[in-house]
Amino acid sequence: EMSEMSERSKQNVAHGLAWSYYVGYLKIVLPRVKKSMEEFSRANPNLLACRKTWKLHILVPLSCDVYDDLEKADSNIQYVTDLTETTLARAGTKKRVYKHSLYAIRDEENQLWHCAVEYATPLQSLFAMSQDECAAFSREERLEQAKLFYRTLEEILKGSKECADTYRLIAYEEPEEAETHFLSREIVWHLRQEHHEEIAVLEGSHPHTPSTALDSAELNLQISESDLPQPLRTDGF
């Protein structure tokens, strides 16, 4: 009966996607991000001067509108290079490659900001489900699932010690009227916050850690305690 209720409400979809994304990808790549950024910074010391930006910036558009090419999403976002790749044997595939792309983000003052950024790929699945008659996903349900995916992923990552300070979730709702450089402005806002955090640390003050542009409270979700993801266990099971 509980399974049928969960299936009818489709809550299991977002939870499953968030956990799969974490276990099958983020838990593998995030602990290696800083090392890749450090290697790149040694060869290019002027591009990644702010260590607080040495993390993977994960875009979470609540519309689930994901571009395969970020440069086409916003002309102020330009590909620079790929960071050092990680090669692992995974689920029967030998030498599976994991890598991240570094981008230069141009702000309104023509200044360049560099960071590793990519979309949360499970959102592509949510979007595809809303387009498939078999899934019977309405646009409203897709929006709620995107919010629940973000909330679940946020809680999972907060409980993961190995992923601490290796990521930044950037959740956002796109404006109703198209804005040419909305995405680049959104990313730059977060990079500026990270820059301010580093300055505060260097000056010895206690930095105020800002929430993302859309924090959990703003997502207006009605989720019971039983629906929220459970804390990660650290006993090896």
Angle 11-21/2-9 helices, nearest 10 degrees?
Answer: 80
Domain borders along the chain are: 9-204
H/E stretch holding 153 reads helix 139-158
H/E stretch holding 186 reads helix 182-202
Q: Rounded distance, CA 230 to CA 158, Å?
A: 11
pLDDT at 109: 94
pLDDT at 2: 45
Q: Rounded distance, CA 23 to CA 25, Å?
A: 6
CATH topology assigned to domain 9-204: Rossmann fold (3.40.50)
pLDDT at 49: 78
pLDDT at 58: 98
Mean pLDDT by 10 residues, the chain (237 residues): 48 87 96 92 84 94 94 95 87 87 95 96 89 71 91 96 96 86 96 85 55 52 47 41
The dihedral sign for the CA sequence 213, 216, 218, 220? positive
SS3 132: coil
H/E stretch holding 113 reads strand 112-119
Name 104's Cβ contacts closer than 8 Å, sequence gap at least 6: 77, 78, 80, 112, 113, 114
